[in-house]
Amino acid sequence: MLIAIAFYILAFTAIAAAFMVVASRNPVHSVMFLILTFFSAAGLFILMGAEFLALLLVMVYVGAVAVLFLFVVMMLDVDFVELKQGFLTYLPIGAVVALILLAEMILVGAAYFSGETKGVVEQNSDRSNIQQFGDVLYTQYAGAFEAAGLVLLVAMIGAIVLTLRTRKGVKTQNAMDQMARTREDGVELVDIEPGQGLG
C-alpha cells in the first residue's frame, strides 16, 4: 500500500514539475522545477529497485544542471551584485521545492526500508543491485566506460578553453616564468646603514 502511494505521489510530482519547467517564464524557477523532476524520477527508480540509476540521476544530472548554469554565468558575464539582490524574490519558490524534496525523500525512505520494494532488476540474495552493476561495468564494458570518461574530459577542457579570456589591465600569473626564475632574479640583498630605514 505504501509503495502505491509513493509511486502515485512521485509520478504526479515528476509530471507537474516537468510541465512547470517549460511553463515557467523565469529561468531560475525552471531550474528549480527541473531539479525537482530529477529527484522525483530518482525516487521512482528506487521504488523499482534500481538504486544505482537513482544515485546516477541525482549525482550526474542534478550536478550537471548546477555546472551548466555556472558555465552560462561565466559565458554571459552576469552581474553578481544584481543577481544577489534578487535572492529574496526566489526564496518562496525555493522553499516550496525544498519542502517537496524533503517530503519525497522521507516517503521514499519509508517505502524502501519497509521491505516492500521488489526491483525489476534481477537480484541475488547476497549481492545488491549496485554490486552487480559494478561487476558488469568494470569487466564487460570497461573499454566503453573509459572511452566515456575521455569524452567527458575533452568536454571539460573545451569548456575551460571557451571561457578562458585575457583582459587588459588584469595581472595574471605566468607559470613558466615562475618556475624558470632563479635566486638572483627573486632575491635582492640590501646593505642598510645603522639607524636608517628602507625608505
Class of domain 1-121: mainly alpha
What pLDDT, on a 0 to 100 scale, did the predictor assign at position 79?
58
Lowest mean pLDDT among 12-16, 34-38, 172-176, 178-182: 172-176
d(CA 197, CA 140): 73
| Dist CA 177 CA 118 (whole Å) | 62
**Residues 91-104: pLDDT tens digits?**
787 788 888 878 87
Euclidean distance between CA atoms 165 and 119, whole angstroms? 50
Q: State pLDDT tens for residues 110-166.
A: 776 776 555 544 555 577 777 777 888 888 888 888 998 899 899 888 888 887 776
Distances (CA, A) of 171 to 80, 182, 186: 21, 21, 18
Rg for the chain, CA atoms, rounded: 26
